Amino acid sequence: MRIKKLVAMLLVVSMVFMSAGCSNGGSDSTTEVEKNISESISTEGSEDEPVSFTFAAHFADLKESNAALYNIIDTFNRQHEGQIVVNYSGSADKSVHITAMKLAAESGSLPDVFFLPTTNAVEFYEAGYLYDMTDMIEQYGDLDEDTLNSLYESKDLQDNSIYGLPLTALVTGFWYNKDVFDRYGVAYPDEGTTFDELLTMIDTFKANGVTTIINGAKTNYSVWAFLLAFARYGFFEHDKAIAAGSDVWSNDDFIKYFEKIQQLQEAGAFAENNSVTDFFQAKELFLAGEAAMFDSGAWDSAVVSDALGEKAGFWWGPIFEDSNYNQQYLMQAPSVSVRVNAESVKEPEKLEAITEFMKFYMSPEADQIRVDNGTVPLTSVDVDASNVNAAFAKMLEALKIEGWISVPYQADANLSEVVQEALYDSMFGVICGIYTPEEALEIMDEVQTRALEE
Amino acid sequence: MLLIKRVNKEGIKGIMRGKRKKAILTIVLILVTLVMIFPLLWVVILSFKTSAQIFSEPFILPKRFDLTNYIKVFKVMNLSILYKNTAIIGFFSVTLSIIITFMSSFSLSRMVFKHKKLKDYLYNYFLLGLTIPPMILLFPVYRLTVSMHLFGTYLSLILPYTAMNIAFNTLLFVGFFNDFPGEVEEAAIIDGCGLRRLCTTVVAPMAKPIISTVLIFNVLYIWNEYPFASVLISNTEKYTIPMGSAFFKGMFSMDYGGLIASSVIIMVPQLIFYGIFQRYIVGGMTAGAVKG
Amino acid sequence: MHHLSKSRNFAIMLIPSVAVYTLYIVISVFVAIYYSFTKYSGVGVEKWVGLKNYKRLLTDRYFIIALSNTGIILVVALITLVVLGFLLANLLHQKLKIKGVCQALIYIPIVIAPIVVGVIWLFILDPSYGFINNFLRYIGLGDYSRSWIGAKNNLAAYSIAFIYFWRNLGYIATIFLTGINMISDEIYEAAGIDGVNWFTKMIYITIPMLKETITIVIVLVVTGVFKVLEIVTQLTNGGPNHLSETLVTYSYTVSFNTGEYGYGMSIATVTFMISLVFSLFYINVINKKGK
């Protein structure tokens, strides 16, 4: 009797294995990027063992989520076949990745090269986990003056040192679906669109049961367009003082801004089930034509282009007529975040391999790959923008608007981890109608006070 | 809804007799059962719709049985690795925990303690584990694992899983041994049986039923366990089955559909497992509660 | 057996279990308590801060929310599981032909991975795409559709309690059933209440005889509620804005998402203390039975 059961169990298990094996056998599983990249390199017959190092970032399916990086790594591996192998490994999303990096650092298994935003990098720096890349970049990189200066100016961890390279130049805002606008006779938004005009748009969409702005509150950091618009109410005139303790979050300008967000919520701009949707589901809904605008950035240009083609548009958000500050802000700030493990470079071969890679990473050739794959180049060298996807073309147009300048860094970039989390919570709190503007900013002040005490 | 049915039944109770009573109760039971398993059926139905259908026409039944979700899941989610990892971790952990708890439970129930209080104290000590919320253990176990340089290995999960099962296994084993008189063992000892031979050749065969129950229950726990796995494993090559499901966010753009299909794929083997070993599972969990 | 009970044998038999258990379970609890007195971000060295984390708990609005949500889930789960579980067990005790199949089916929810349970119910409770609201709209009762999860009204706690009830009903009913089956028919006869209403029998005979089973069920439910994590994470992730956090999920999010491991451990310690009270009760009952 027992044997029968055991056999039955074994049969079930082997059936599962076989079915999984059969369907996996022939297909090219793109998440196994490591395998893909290694497959393109044959190490059989090569005399030396190639030097390999790991690159970890927060894209589970690299080819799909960040084609630019995928192709950069792939091209580099091909060019250095048999000599250097870059092994990419990914996590499900940004916050899972950051936790994984922390755990890895503490257990001595930190990858050689990894993504880590400034906010979290501060502690890594203080604990000595990061490699000072200044020499590597200055001596061995062929960077032009402007680009090199921009790396210093990005004010990462230490003045006069480079502790990280940009993963991308962050370009964020609203993708919009022209089809949805056409369907209800709404004019496309542009750089002159005011907040009141946006409210009118929302009325039309809402009356027809369409979500105007879609984002997913479960992914609390997906408030990029709102972090950008914050600049139009003087965020960058307040933030340093707040961080020093001489100003508060609950100032008049910020309250006015959050009131605008509240107006959006009250007008019905957001989805009813926003708070139980996450960013990836929101993206799916937008690409399927269920919403007019999507809060996202350059990293999604490829999928937006695939789904919407010429019907894709890009917008920096509304200008606010009652604000005293500059309205012409766009977002093209470098997100400094690709860092090197201080332990790894103690092996000279690895140091050499990583240096080679960084050289390539910041080269015009890599920039061409970036543009071809729909992300903004990192260097100041001109690139051939004729091959870009339709959505990215719109983004490049938007970047060239007369008189618009970029914010110095994204609003959340220099906040401490706890304050950053509170900012995301506060913004989504107003978006979901849970907090009033005053409550939201009050919470920010509580958290900020506590952060300053320590 | 259930409550209303009960009240109805009670009101009519005085009048109905025999067959009609049985018929009504049967209907009630069937309805209850349907409501209980409905969510599972709903998910299976949903898995055959395309993602677009799920949100544009949430309530309509799928027109055709669309397998796109499943195909995508099989392509992207490396099931054989997930099952392999869970199987390896499960096999070693369950084997280890059954052996060591068998030994400790046997000694707690059969062997004669010099200080009687020690036996009770140890027994309660183990049982306390049943009620410790796993949450409080996540971070410390992680720190422990890191300091033992085991992070990211199979052992990093095998040992905690073993530890988590000790309390339940002790409860069941001790209950079993206490219920069974030790005459056969006494006879064997008089014949000159040593401790090891006693356990392996005399006691273990006798305890087959309880060992089976414990084994199946331990397997089920590991199959379903998520919190420890999510904290201690960060390498996708070592993910276990429950993690495969959570890992779905952001994998590809067909998120909704993929999520549902992967849930069904994880669920079905568990249902088959349950179907085969139902008697042991129900018996084990009940024994855990009712036995003392 | 006396002859085999030498110290050496004791050591061999007991030490492995004691070692693994003590290391991973007992010492871990103390490690957690230690960290609850520190500030630690996950990287670097922890900093001792004494009772600061505990003081913060008292005024932390999210902690209070988590506490109240856990309380709601506890009370709702207890009432529904004890009452309906008991009634269902009575139903299953009747000589009905299909009861075997039904019992087997009702038991299923507890076998399924909790994370899958969370995903399943997401597609039932989602205010826009979920089954319930769409069903209500379909049959014209759209006015009754609610934001079961994800809104300020905090129905989420009740939704979670209901899911917990759904998951455990079969299990609890089976436990009651075992208890009911052990009550022999003679007792009913001996009490001389032939021909009396079924309902009266239940109140005056069955329930008193099941006192111990009821106690065990209560303790099981209580300790079980403190283990719920994945269901909440999949459903609402504690949101919106921490409105649907439970003690367990709040501790998890504070530690692993916000990187405040010290504070997270203080929440976990408080949770543990609460569940410890009930667990001591449980041990007591078990001990009485064993003797």
For C10, which residue in chain B has the nearest alpha carbon? B107
Chain C residues touching B132 at Cβ < 8 A: 25, 29, 272, 275, 279
Query: Taking the CB of residue A444, how many other CB atoms lie within 10 A of it?
Result: 23
Asked whether the beta carbons of residue C257 and residue A95 sit closer than 8 angstroms, the reply is yes
Q: Is some CB atom of chain A closer than 8 A to the CB atom of C151? A: yes
Give the one of A5, A31, A280 whose C-beta lies nearest to B76's C-beta: A31
> Taking 60 as the threshold, does the pLDDT of residue A6 lie above it?
no
Cis peptide before A166 (omega within 30 of 0): no
Instruction: Spell out the domains of chain B, with CATH numbers in brackets.
Output: 2-71 (no CATH), 78-247 (1.10.3720.10)
Using a pLDDT cut of 90, give the percent of chain C over it.
33
C289/chain A closest Cα distance in angstroms: 32
Helical (H) or strand (E) element with B218: helix B208-224
Q: How confident is the model at residue C291 (pLDDT cuts 50, 70, 90)?
A: very low
pLDDT at B76 over 70: yes
The residues pairing with A294 across neighbouring beta strands, listed in sequence order, are: A175, A214
The rounded distance, in Å, linking the Cα atoms of B278 and B265 is: 20
Asked whether the predicted pLDDT for residue A187 surpasses 50, the reply is yes
Inter-chain touch C134–B292, beta carbons under 8 Å: no
Contacts of B58 in chain C (CB under 8 A): 128-131, 134
For chain C, the average pLDDT equals 85
CATH architecture of C56-290: Orthogonal Bundle (1.10)
How far apart CA A213 and CA B263 sit, in angstroms, is 29
Distance CA A237, CA A231 (A): 9
For residue B72, what are the CA distances in angstroms to A289, B81, B251? Answer: 21, 16, 11
pLDDT value at C131 more than 50:
yes
CB A177 within 8 Å of CB A296: no
What's residue A38's pLDDT? 36
Average pLDDT in the B19-36 region? 87
Element (H, E) at A15: helix A2-25
Judged by a CB distance cut-off of 8 A, whether residue C8 touches chain B is no
The CATH T-level fold of domain A33-163+335-375 is D-Maltodextrin-Binding Protein; domain 2 (3.40.190)
Q: Chain-wide mean pLDDT for chain A? A: 83
Span A414-429, pLDDT tens digits: 888 889 999 999 999 9
Examine the pLDDT at B28 and tell me if it is beyond 60. yes
- CB crowding C177-199: b at 16 or more within 10 Å, else e: bbbbeeeeeeebeeeeeeeeeee
The whole-number pLDDT of residue A296 equals: 93
pLDDT at A244 over 60: yes
Q: pLDDT class for B249, splitting at 50, 70, 90?
A: low
- Number of inter-chain CB pairs under 8 A, B vs C: 298
**Is the predicted pLDDT of residue C27 greater than 90, yes or no?**
yes
DSSP C222-242: HHHHTT--HHHHHHTTT-STT
Tokens at C23, concatenated:
């290391």
Q: Is the Cβ–Cβ distance between B25 and B48 less than 8 Å?
A: no
Measured between beta carbons, the chain B residues lying within 8 angstroms of C9 are 107, 111, 195
Single-letter code of the amino acid located at A435: Y
| d(C-alpha A230, C-alpha A261), whole Å | 10
3-class secondary structure, B124: helix
Which CATH class for the A172-332+392-453 domain?
alpha beta
Largest CA distance in chain A: 82
pLDDT digits (tens, 9 = 90+) for C185-229: 667 666 665 666 667 777 777 777 787 788 778 888 888 899 898
Q: For residue B73, is pLDDT > 70?
A: yes
Please indicate whether, in this complex, the C-beta atoms of C126 and A425 are within 8 angstroms of each other: no
Output the CA torsion A266→A272→A276→A281 (10° steps). -110
Distance in Å, alpha carbon of A27 to nearest chain B alpha carbon: 7
Q: How does pLDDT run across A339-387, given as a tens digit for each residue?
A: 999 988 898 889 989 988 988 988 888 888 888 887 888 876 677 777 7
- Chain A hits for C128, CB-CB cut-off 8 Å, are 271-273
Asked if the C-beta of C144 comes within 8 angstroms of chain B's C-beta atoms, the answer is: no
Left, alpha or beta for A452 (phi > 0: left; psi -120 to 50: alpha)?
Answer: alpha
Q: Which of A92-96, A188-192, B152-156, B213-217 has the highest mean pLDDT?
A: A188-192
Residue A93 with chain B: CB contacts under 8 Å: 249-250
A89 touches chain B (CB under 8 A): yes
Query: Nearest CB to B249: which of A24, A93, A100?
Result: A93
**C96: Cα separation from own chain's centroid:** 31
3-state SS assignment for residue A351: helix
Among chain B residues, the shortest Cα distance to A307 is held by: B253
Contacts of B208 (CB under 8 A, 6+ apart): A2
CA distance A70 to A373: 10
Nearest to B289 among C14, C92, C175 (CB): C175
Residue C173: closest C-alpha in chain B: B286
The residues pairing with A340 across neighbouring beta strands, listed in sequence order, are A113
The amino acid sitting at A389 is N
DSSP state of A26: S
Tens-digit pLDDT profile for residues A50-96: 888 999 988 877 887 788 899 999 999 999 888 899 988 887 778 87
The subunits that touch chain A, with at least 3 C-beta pairs less than 8 Å apart, are: B, C
Mean pLDDT across chain B: 81
**Torsion angle, alpha carbons of C119, C122, C128, C132, to 10:** 120
Contact A434 C129 (CB under 8 A): no
pLDDT of A252 higher than 90? yes
**Which residues from C are below 8 Å from A421, CB to CB?**
257-258
Cross-chain Cβ contact B25/C290 below 8 Å: no
For residue B162, the chain C residues in CB contact (below 8 A) are 20, 24
Q: Which residue of C has its CA nearest to B167?
A: C21
Q: Which of residues 295-324 of A touch B (CB under 8 A)?
A: 303
Give the residue extent of every domain in chain A.
Answer: 33-163+335-375, 172-332+392-453
Of C128, C152, C239, the CB nearest to A271: C128
pLDDT at position A31: 37
Q: How far is B268 from chain C (nearest CA, A)?
A: 9
What is the percentage of chain A residues whose pLDDT exceeds 70? Answer: 86
Cβ contact (<8 Å) for C241 and A454? no
Residue B146 is nearest to which of A27, A64, A107, comparing CB atoms? A107
- Rounded average pLDDT over A123-127: 87
Q: Which of C29, C108, C285 sits opposite B274 (nearest CB)?
A: C108
What does the DSSP assignment read for B133-196? -THHHHHHHHHHHHHTT-TTSSHHHHHHHHHHHHHHHHHHHHHHHHHS--HHHHHHHHTT--HH
Q: CB B59 to CB C131 under 8 A? A: yes
- pTM (2 d.p.): 0.83
Asked if C108 and B113 come within 8 Å (Cβ–Cβ), the reply is no
A425: closest chain C residue by CA: C241
Cα separation, C141 vs C132, whole angstroms:
11
CB A233 within 8 A of CB A256: yes
For residue C74, give how far its alpha carbon lies from the nearest alpha carbon of chain A (Å): 23
Judged by CB atoms closer than 8 Å, whether chains meet at C20 and B163 is answered as: yes
> Which residues does chain B have within 8 Å of residue C220's beta carbon, measured at their own beta carbons?
289
Other Cβ atoms within 10 Å of A189 Cβ, number: 22
Domains A33-163+335-375 and A172-332+392-453 agree in fold? yes
C239: closest CA of chain B, how far (Å): 17
- Nearest Cα of chain A lies from the Cα of C154 at a distance, in angstroms, of 11
Residue C194: predicted pLDDT: 61
Q: Which of B41, B139, B142 to mutate to test binding with chain C, by most C CBs within 10 Å of its CB?
A: B139
